[in-house]
Amino acid sequence: MRNNKYFPTALGLYINYFIHGMGVIILSQNMNYLIEQLHTNKAGVAYVISALGIGRFIVLYISGALSDKFGRKPFVILGIITYILFFAGILVSPNVTVAFIFGILAGMANSFLDSGTIPALMECFPEAGSSANVFNKAFISAGQFLLPMGVSIIVSKNLWYGYSFVFCIIVLVINAIYLFTRPFPAINADKKEEVAVTEEANDKKSKFWIEGIALIVIGFTSTATFMVINTWIPSYGREVAGMVQAESLKLVSYYSIGSILAVIVTSILVKSLIKPVRVVFIYPLISLIMLIILYVSPTPTICLISAFVIGFAAAGGVLQLALTAMADIFPSSKGKITGMVYSASSIASFTVPAVTGAISSNVSNVILFNIIVTGLGVVLAIVVNFRYNVLTKAN
């Protein structure tokens, strides 16, 4: 990888996702400050967080299509600029309505970055495209690991909460200038290969209305599971388990350590040891068991263990592996299926914060909600695995 002439470009792309990892959790990490600034409550901040999912959903399809037409670099730069507007805008937002608008920009920035970065990495490293994209997850997790530590220092020193936002702005400005000067590979859509795959006869007699719908809904449940923990585990640790604020914020760091480890372990497992469809069942089951333990025994130690384990299981690539399983079961409809699964994930991104915010007067209700959603994902994964076994035997 390092000998590739596009390695410096890829490094800049990964830095964007390091900051994106911070952007995903920066509102929940600064919830108490934003409650005061926006003259609202936890539900109001959760409402702003839901805007990120709406923004992502709005431009999900069009940004990808335009990236194919106009190139990767413009959308990477557009994503950076839009993210800068979000970080700066939140700092000056006087109320929930204004903050919600900037939250939509953050979601749009996410889609812009995805539409430019993911194909660009595949084109930078055509022989290792999937591995190159796995590193995105690692950099996101690294950002989510370090931000809570930074916020904890800010809290303990009674500093202005906005320093964490300013840090993100500075890094993005520098990285935008850097990437603007870096070469990007020519658009290299292997259309012939894609056509060959999509035209492959689907002789598995798959049933979209059974395993297809199940996998699409898993796109929702898998996203919901880690979103709830990402957003609410600090509040749960503080209000239910009795942790002090600085320590409760660090729970997201333990979550991120788990997710980083999961990227490594999962990539090894699915390479030769276990089929992705099995992981789609095993990981949500682990999350479900840990959520139940967290709900019935809310202690600081259990919160710490739960954050790590759920970070591993929920953020270990279940969404991506669901896509892999979907492509295996429906080889002739990969593009369509990918859009459906990611649409379900985007819907979770804006509905879950809204729902959990509405029931957050008792944070235990949020964990109970997560148990129900994750349990649904486990049931659907059983259905998918059963159907997969049937299809495998039939072929």
Residue 91 placed within a domain = yes
Q: The domain containing residue 217 runs over which residues?
A: 200-395
Instruction: Please indicate, yes or no, whether residues 283 and 315 belong to a single structural domain of this protein.
Output: yes
Same domain, residue pair 101 and 146: yes
Q: Quick one: which of 17, 20, 16, 10 has its CA closest to 132? A: 10
Say whether both 264 and 324 belong to one domain. Answer: yes
Do residue 84 and residue 228 come from a single domain? no
Report yes or no on 194 lying in a domain.
no
CA 177 – CA 284 distance, rounded (Å): 41
Residues 6+ apart with CB under 8 A from 338: 323, 326, 327
In a domain, 195, yes or no: no
SS3 state at 3: coil
Backbone angles phi, psi at 66, to 5 degrees: -70, -30
Amino acid at 316: G
Q: To which residue do tokens 């879950």 refer?
A: 352
Q: Of the residues 165, 189, 213, which one is the last residue of a structural domain? A: 189
What is residue 179's predicted lDDT score, i.e. its pLDDT?
95
Quick one: 49 and 90 in the same domain? Answer: yes
CATH of the domain at 264: 1.20.1250.20
Domain membership of residue 339 (yes or no) is yes
Residue 124's pLDDT is 82
Q: What is the pLDDT along the chain (395 residues), one digit of tens a residue?
A: 556 788 899 999 999 999 999 998 999 999 999 999 999 998 899 999 999 989 988 887 788 778 878 888 999 999 999 999 999 999 999 999 999 999 999 999 998 998 888 778 878 877 665 556 667 778 888 898 899 999 999 988 999 999 999 999 999 999 999 999 999 888 754 444 444 444 444 444 677 888 889 999 999 999 999 999 988 999 999 999 999 988 998 898 899 899 889 888 887 887 778 888 899 999 999 999 999 999 999 999 999 999 999 999 987 778 877 877 776 777 655 556 666 787 888 899 889 988 998 999 999 999 999 999 999 999 999 999 999 888 888 66
CB burial of residue 307 (10 Å; 0-12, 13-18, 19+): buried
114 with 219, same domain? no
- Are 224 and 358 members of one domain? yes
pLDDT, residue 196, reads 47
Q: How far apart are CA 261 and CA 283, in angstroms?
A: 13
Domain count, the chain: 2
Tokens of 223: 């996203």
Q: Is 315 in the same domain as 372?
A: yes
